[in-house]
């Protein structure tokens, strides 16, 4: 790839990202996702390039994986970014329930909780509840894996360690922390540090993380 070709691909990604207000939500999602993969950037590099959090970009990529008909349901809604992970993992009925409550709501203090509750009422426990129920040791171990494999940045590792302490003290994760944890843990999975066939003699914890994230056997 020449410098010019690379620059064009990065520019296309930025332009796609900046079209949020001018495109239907479903078209924006597909456009950003397509240009992200064409750019050849890692998730962390692309997020930095777009001046956003890796978890937010990951949520876009997850949404792009929805069935076309399901993503089309969100076409004109432009749901708040705190709801994207929940919507990306929802069934058709869960999406319809979430869209209904968002459309009917006026001023919402926490769109995440509103959407989460709507989807849960249809589907039962969701990914965030599973992440929030992980043992404190799991987050501490994830931080160690990230360091051992030279993954995540200092902020991400510090967050994992902080959640270990938080949960150990009897506190729960906030919605924003759950979404951030989802992105961090998925990055460890995508990089191979967390795997079903882990060679680090930590299969139990790896399976616990993968189960929480919804990865199949």
Q: Can you tell me the distance from the alpha carbon of 80 to that of 204, in angstroms, rounded to the nearest whole number?
A: 35
Instruction: Please indicate, yes or no, if residue 18 is contained in any of the structural domains.
Output: yes
Instruction: Please indicate, yes or no, if residue 102 is contained in any of the structural domains.
Output: no
Q: Is residue 137 predicted with pLDDT exceeding 70? A: yes
Instruction: Please indicate, yes or no, if residue 2 is contained in any of the structural domains.
Output: yes
- What value does the mean pLDDT of the chain take? 90
State the Rg of the chain over Cα. 18
Rounded to two decimals, what is the model's pTM?
0.62
Instruction: Please indicate, yes or no, if residue 10 is contained in any of the structural domains.
Output: yes
Instruction: Please indicate, yes or no, if residue 191 is contained in any of the structural domains.
Output: yes
Q: What is the 3-state secondary structure (H, E, C) of the chain?
A: CCHHHHHHHHHHHHHHHHCCCCCCHHHHHHHHHHHHHHHCCCHHHHHHHHCCCHHHHHHHHHHHCCCHHHHHCCCCCCCCHHHHHHHHCCCHHHHHHHHHHHHHCCCCCCHHHHHHHHHHHHHCCCHHHHHHCCCHHHHHHHHHHHHHCCCCCHHHHHHHHHHHHHHHCCCCCCHHHHHHHHHHHHHHHHCCCCCCCCCCCCHHHHHHHHHHHCCCC
Looking at 34, 65, 96, which one is the last position of a domain?
65
Nearest-CA neighbor of 112 among 180, 192, 202?
A: 180
Looking at 44, 65, 86, which one is the last position of a domain?
65
How does residue 21 score in pLDDT terms, banded at 50, 70 and 90? very high
Instruction: Please indicate, yes or no, if residue 104 is contained in any of the structural domains.
Output: no
**Lowest-confidence region among 3-17, 44-58, 155-169, 203-217:** 3-17
Higher pLDDT, 159 or 130: 159
Give residue 162's domain range. Answer: 130-213
Looking at 65, 98, 113, which one is the last position of a domain?
65
Domain total of the chain: 2
Write out pLDDT tens, residues 83-136. Answer: 998 899 888 999 999 999 998 887 667 888 889 889 888 887 777 788 989 999
Instruction: Please indicate, yes or no, if residue 72 is contained in any of the structural domains.
Output: no
Instruction: Please indicate, yes or no, if residue 98 is contained in any of the structural domains.
Output: no
């Amino acid at each position: 790839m020449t410098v010019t070709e690379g620059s064009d691909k990065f520019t296309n990604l930025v332009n796609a990202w900046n079209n949020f207000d001018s495109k239907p939500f479903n078209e924006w999602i597909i456009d950003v996702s397509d240009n992200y993969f064409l750019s050849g950037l890692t998730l962390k590099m692309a997020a930095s390039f777009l001046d956003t959090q890796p978890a937010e970009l990951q949520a876009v990529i997850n949404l792009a994986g929805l069935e076309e008909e399901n993503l089309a349901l969100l076409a004109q809604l432009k749901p708040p970014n705190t709801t994207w992970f929940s919507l990306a993992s929802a069934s058709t009925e869960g999406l319809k329930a979430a869209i209904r409550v968002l459309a009917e709501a006026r001023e919402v203090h926490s769109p995440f909780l509103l959407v989460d509750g709507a989807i849960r009422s249809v589907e039962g426990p969701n990914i965030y509840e599973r992440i929030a129920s992980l043992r404190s040791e799991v987050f501490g171990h994830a931080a160690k894996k990230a360091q051992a494999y030279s993954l995540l940045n200092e902020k991400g590792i510090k967050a994992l360690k902080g959640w270990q302490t938080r949960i150990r003290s009897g506190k729960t994760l906030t919605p924003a922390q759950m979404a951030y944890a989802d992105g961090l843990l998925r990055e460890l999975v995508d990089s191979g540090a967390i795997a079903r066939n882990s060679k680090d003699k930590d299969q139990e914890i790896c399976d616990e993380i993968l189960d929480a994230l919804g990865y199949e056997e």
